[in-house]
Structure 1
Amino acid sequence: MTTALLVAALLMGFFGSPHCLGMCGGLVTAFGLSMKDSSPAKRRALVATYHIGRLGSYAFLGLIAGLIGTTVLEPLMTGNNLPRILLGLVLAFVGVTMLGAPFLNKLERFGMRFWQYLSPLRQKVFPLNTFPRALTAGLLWGFLPCGLVYGALLIAVVAHNPISGAALMFVFGLGTVPMLVATHETVGWLRDKIGRFRLRQLNGAVLVISGLAVVFTPIVMSSMHGGHSHGGSHTTMDHSSHSDMSQMNHDMNPEMDHSMHDMSDDTETMHHAH
């Protein structure tokens, strides 16, 4: 896995975080209300704890996604260009979803069923006044259905191995942290800037372009290389023809010299006879 892929995951999390805030805002508010009796220092520590739990869940999901990619897809992708093509297509697909295409909505609805199934367990972590509860709440939070998370998991599937998948999802989660821990005023400022400059859409476009480049650039380069090889064959042919002509000249010269020598002898004989 390249550094570029990690950077893409980080930016995907950051620029997509306004969407995450829309889905997670109620949960963040509920967590905050449950910690109202704690001191400011303890609240900050509890907030850090449940975000550590959330990133841990993302890393675990990335590990599973990478494991699926290794065990299911790897046998099909040995000795061919399928890994590169699949990665490019996934990047382009995720980019299109960031541009607003509702491709992952059905997957979100399916995930909501699982989230509702966890409801009894979620109720037991309130109030978040202890670190074990905060950590458990964060671990559960990682399973909140989110199309952006599912898009990142698709990238983790083609990340070549489970460790890379876990690292990619952890970095993606880091990108979402600033928006989710910011104060109300800072949240408004971040959402305004990201929305005004269409940074989410810009990041989606970059992912689409990057994915297409991953798929098609080697094909174009291979075609160009093939053209150069054809030119090289033409040059070789010219060189071969030149060598053949030189050989013909070499073979003809002794015969011509011998004929000229015979003509000289005949002339000399006629001269003496005269």
Structure 2
Amino acid sequence: MDHKENIAVLLTCFNRREKTIACLKSLFRASLPARIKLEVFLVDDGSTDGTSEAVRDTFPSINIIQGTGNLFWNRGMHLAWETAANQADFDYYMWLNDDVILYEQALEVILQSSKEKPDSIICGSMCSSNNKTLTYGGIDENHNLLEPSDVIQQCTKFNGNLLLVPDSVYKKVGNLDPKFPHAIGDFDYANRAIKSGFKNYITPGFLGVCDEHDSLPIWCLSEVPLKKRIKALYSPLGNSHPYYFFYYERKNYSLGLAIKHFLTIHLRLLFPRLWKLKKN
């Protein structure tokens, strides 16, 4: 008899009830090999729009963990992962953003890719809902998103929208670093995996839809008042929060690079027009 393989699916959400439900519906619609069993762990980080109630009514088997309201994405995912790992032994841990709509074959493709590249992290690429362009996925050594092809490709870093982490990787690399509240934790995990001797890959083709957020954050926009730009930069939701970005680069690269980017981030904050001219 074939060994049943268990996957802990990890999500975190906040006040996106319709998107969260749509994501979960796509997860349970996806075709799944007979040997695979899913168990879902969802952190609801203080939603006030009835997300937990809607999930409980629609998917009563899902484990709902109540957050503090101050976890955001990375710390929410850390709590989901910690809860899953403490509850049972899983063969895989799957990260899933609650704004992703999975294609029907997504789970089969990511699992097959994992079989072909065992003891590796497998990332599923996402495309936009309108023109099917690449939005999230694996990132190469030149910091560019990797366009998926018909073969598995190695990547350096990845976005955490859809990721499959085998238990062998988890046992050595561990959980996400809870130092990061929202962003950067996925990049940090990719680097930690490589340092621990593992490799990161993207699957063939797109595995789902996830529309890209605004291309430039508020703190980079010259038309936004300085006070508002400062607030946006230092928000836990910012992707370049100076403190956490400094910590990430100091940890993964060097003190010199961390200092350099700490300074350039603030220069861009103060003089976004000059930065735009430089880029043009």
Q: With structure 2 as the length reference, what TM-score do the two structures score?
A: 0.20
Structure with higher helix content? 1
Structure with higher RCO (Cα < 8 A, 6+ apart): 1
| Structure of larger gyration radius | 1
Q: With structure 1 as the length reference, what TM-score do the two structures score?
A: 0.21
